[in-house]
């Protein structure tokens, strides 16, 4: 499976980034071969619509699933429109490598409706969504 993980750095040793839309990089990893491709998230700095822009990048790269800490409601709709499966719950302390290992073990839950906020499961999440996050 081609799995996209939101990442703070360019290789699988880097820590994950728990916010999907605002993550600086995506690592697209073939979970069978562990071959990884890095993609810069050009949408991360957008004033508006970072989540949808990020989903476009991920969709264009042919990812089949996304693993992040929190996927905002717009990004959720976009990824679903591309039939990309969404998994949430990675922790900010994990490296991308550890996240893939956990993913293969089935540690992360698949989300079928937009979450109401980041952080469940220990992720810190900056939340790219539109103010649904509490204080």
Partner 1 sequence: MTGDLQSEVIRAFHRKDFTTPVVGITGGKGGVGKTTVAVNIACALADRGVRTALVDADVDGPNGAILLSVELANPAAVDITVPQIDAERCNGCGDCVRACRLHALFQPRGKYPQLIGECNGCEACIQVCEAHAISRGRKQVGMTYLSRIDGLSLYTGALIPGFEESSVVVQAVRERAFADAEQFDLILVDTSPGAHCNVINALRGADSVLAVTEPTPFGLHDLELILNLLELLELGGSVVLNRADLPGDRKKIKTVARQHSREMIWEIGMDDLLARSYAAGVPVVREYPQAPSSKVFQQLAENIAATYGI
- Judged by beta carbon, residue 74 or residue 97, the one nearer partner 1 is 74
Angle at 55 between CA 41 and CA 63, to 5 degrees: 95
Using the rule CB under 8 A, give the single segment among 7-15, 55-63, 88-96, 103-111 that binds partner 1.
55-63
CA–CA separation, 119 vs 97, rounded Å? 20
CB of 115 to partner 1, least distance (A): 17
Longest dimension (CA), the chain: 41
Of 80 and 124, which CB lies nearer to partner 1 in the complex structure?
80
53 near partner 1 (CB under 8 A): yes
And the tokens for 63?
């990812």
Q: Residue 93: left if φ>0, alpha if ψ -120 to 50, beta else—which one?
A: alpha
- Cβ atoms of 115 and 70 closer than 8 Å: yes
**Rounded Cα distance, 82 and 111, in Å:** 15
Residue 92 CB, nearest distance to partner 1 (Å)?
A: 25
Using rule CB under 8 A, residue 85 touches partner 1: no
Candidates 19, 29, 43, 86; binder of partner 1 (CB under 8 A) is 43
Stretch binding partner 1 (CB under 8 A), from 5-13, 22-30, 51-59, 114-122: 51-59
Among 52, 65, 90, 99, binds partner 1 (CB under 8 A): 52
Q: How far is residue 22's CA from residue 6's CA, in Å, rounded to a whole number?
A: 9
Q: What are the residues binding partner 1 (CB under 8 A)?
A: 43, 46, 48-53, 55-56, 59-60, 62, 74, 77-78, 81-83
């Amino acid at each position: 499976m081609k799995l996209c993980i939101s990442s703070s750095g360019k290789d699988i040793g880097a820590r994950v980034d728990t916010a999907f839309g605002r993550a600086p990089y995506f690592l697209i990893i073939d979970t069978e071969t562990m071959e990884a491709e890095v993609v810069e998230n050009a949408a991360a700095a957008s004033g508006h619509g970072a989540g949808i822009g990020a989903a476009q990048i991920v969709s264009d790269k042919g990812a089949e699933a996304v693993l992040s800490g929190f996927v905002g409601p717009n990004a959720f709709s976009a990824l679903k429109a591309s039939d990309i499966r969404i998994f949430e719950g990675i922790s900010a302390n994990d490296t991308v490598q550890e996240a893939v290992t956990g993913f293969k073990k089935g540690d992360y839950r698949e989300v079928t409706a937009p979450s109401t906020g980041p952080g469940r499961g220990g992720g810190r999440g900056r939340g790219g969504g539109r103010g649904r996050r509490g204080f």
